[in-house]
Amino acid sequence: MPIDWSAAERPVHSFCVQQRADFGAAAGFGSPDVTIALTRCCEPDWLVSQALDSLTTQEGVLAEVLLLDQTPTPALADHCAAVQQPRCDVRYQQIPKRSLSYARNRAVASARADSILFLDADAVASPGWAHTLHAALAGDTVGLVGARILPTWHRQPLLLAAAAVVQDQYSIFDLGSTARPFHRVVGAGFGLHRGRLGDEARFDERLGRRPGSLLGGEESDLARRALARGLRILYEGRAVVHHQILPERISYRWILRRMFYAGLSRALLRGAPSPSRALALTDYLALPVVLPFYGAGYLAGRMQGHGHLHQAR
Residues 66, 1, 168: CA angle, nearest 5 degrees? 70
pLDDT of residue 58: 97
Q: What is the dihedral of CA 209, 149, 142, 39, to 10 degrees?
A: 40
**Residue 87: closest CA among 19, 133, 29, 28:** 19
Measured distance CA(163)–CA(151) in Å, rounded: 14
**pLDDT number for residue 309:** 54
Inter-residue contact 116 to 37 (CB < 8 Å):
yes
- Its pTM stands at 0.87
pLDDT less than 50: residues of the chain: 1-28, 306-308, 310-313
| Domains of the chain in sequence order | 14-249 (3.90.550.10)
Position 280 scores a pLDDT of 85
Q: Which residues contact 208 (CB under 8 A, 6 or more apart)?
A: 99, 100, 101, 102, 104, 215, 216, 217, 218
- Name the DSSP class of 94: E
pLDDT at 30: 62
Position 273 scores a pLDDT of 63
DSSP 31: -
What is the residue-wise DSSP string for 32-69?
Answer: -SEEEEEEESS--HHHHHHHHHHHHT-SS--EEEEEEE
